[in-house]
Structure 1
Amino acid sequence: MAYTYLLIGDIDTGFSYIYNAIEEDIRLNSVCPQLNYPRSAPVYLTASLSSVKRNVMYSFVERIRLDLETNLSDYRDCFGRILTLSEFDNKFLQNELLDIIKYYFVFTYWTVFEYQRKVDAAMMQNDFSKLKNANWMFALCLVIDKLLNSKYGTDNIGKGIIALSTDKGYMRQSDLENLRSQNNLKKDPDDAIPRLLQMNLNYNGSPIKKEIQYLLVAWNIRNFAGHNIKIQNVFGDKFKELFKVLLYCIFIIVEEY
């Protein structure tokens, strides 16, 4: 059933069947551990975007992996980093400790992939689409939040970003908090996000690292979308750009695993 629904582009229903089958495979493995389920089962290979080709749904997975590789290539160019798809597999997509976060990421990524294939930018300008886009942005921010939680033991996205920033020597906590206050980055996305996307923030006369400016976008969206049902034009006008920014935030964090 999962195959049929993925074939027609019904990602919500397809993944409902996938995750139900994964739980059944876990129970089956307790009886027949030699099966190595769910990790060798097609549904798990699909939900983890595995490169293993002995999977009846691999043709679907391959499309998503190719798109993910394109985004990783753009990320490497943007930041001068070296994260490969194979490393992303090892650190995240095939990391058993991150299974729940991974499932949510793959479902969200796949859903947005299908949406962007079918809906052009002009169709994202109505108010309902802006709310729906905000919901997907929030989902990616939850992935960011929980990856930071898993890495640093923090209990919210702000503390996680501060922990990453201090760990990597990007900015001290006090400087990062002052930066947010001085630039009014706690305001609604329509106010804060366009300024952040310009990527020209300075603090005490020095430019802010791009990684921090990207993570500040995630911080703003996470806090806004978690507490509001409010139309923000930026979620329609800048949807594709924001999707990439949040995806790059995930790449930044995964590199630290």
Structure 2
Amino acid sequence: MIGKITTGKSFRGCMKYLHEGRLQENEELQKLEMEKKQAEVIYYNQCFGNKKELIRQFVEVAALNPKVSRPVFHISISLAHQDAHMLDRQDKADIAAALAQKFDFADKQYVVITHADTAHEHLHIVVNRIGYDGPTASDSNSYKRMAEFCREMERAYKLTQVLSPNRFLKPEQRLQQSQRIDQRKETLKNYLSHAIKQSSNVRQVKNYMEKQGYAVELGRGIAFTDQQQVRFKGSQVGYALMEIEKKLKQEQILKQQQIQQQKQQEELMRKQKQERKHSHGVSL
């Protein structure tokens, strides 16, 4: 069993991805993506309803503590291939409840969602770190706590012990997984390159990236979170805030040079036209 926990800013983005999958080019492809995922909520804690109702409930409670900028826990738990079908719905709900105790969100809103779109069984848990009362669920030492929890569940349910996240994957799947982050980075870099070419300041870059579906954190530095809640600092993809500002200035200088060159070309063409006209008049 492998567990992964991330914190995020958007309940809407997280829930939309888990129910609808990756954003597709058109409505027909998006429908196929949703059918492939076969998302199903198997357990609700202090919340209930469809996707929109759940998002509204999460957001309303999170507003009780606006100081917390990343109120979303997104937890994914994957089983080894050989453990397929060893857990029923109740087992999965019980594992989620045990995890809630481990990470102190048993009294918070959370839902458990299963998918059937990959070669190995997995489930997702979306948690509101903010509660009606009590402290915010902590994300400190989450990697260590998650590893300990997985080992406990493997023993309790007699599952295959997995010491490495990639150990139970086939070689080609390991390669695909390693390339996935690179593809996300390349996509982000391509969007940023287009954004800089079309913008005159950092604020316009931010607006452009938000239109592409990224959440943008802008302060002393810059960071981008995609619709799958994967976060990159600008420096991780070669676009630190200072680098973006530098490229924007370079683009502005280049545009000014191009405008000047165009004006010079137009002036040259105008003079040549006048000279031809004058020459034609003299020959007459």
TM-score for both structures, normalised by structure 1: 0.26
More strand by share: 2
**Bigger CA radius of gyration:** 2
More helix by share: 1
TM-score for both structures, normalised by structure 2: 0.24
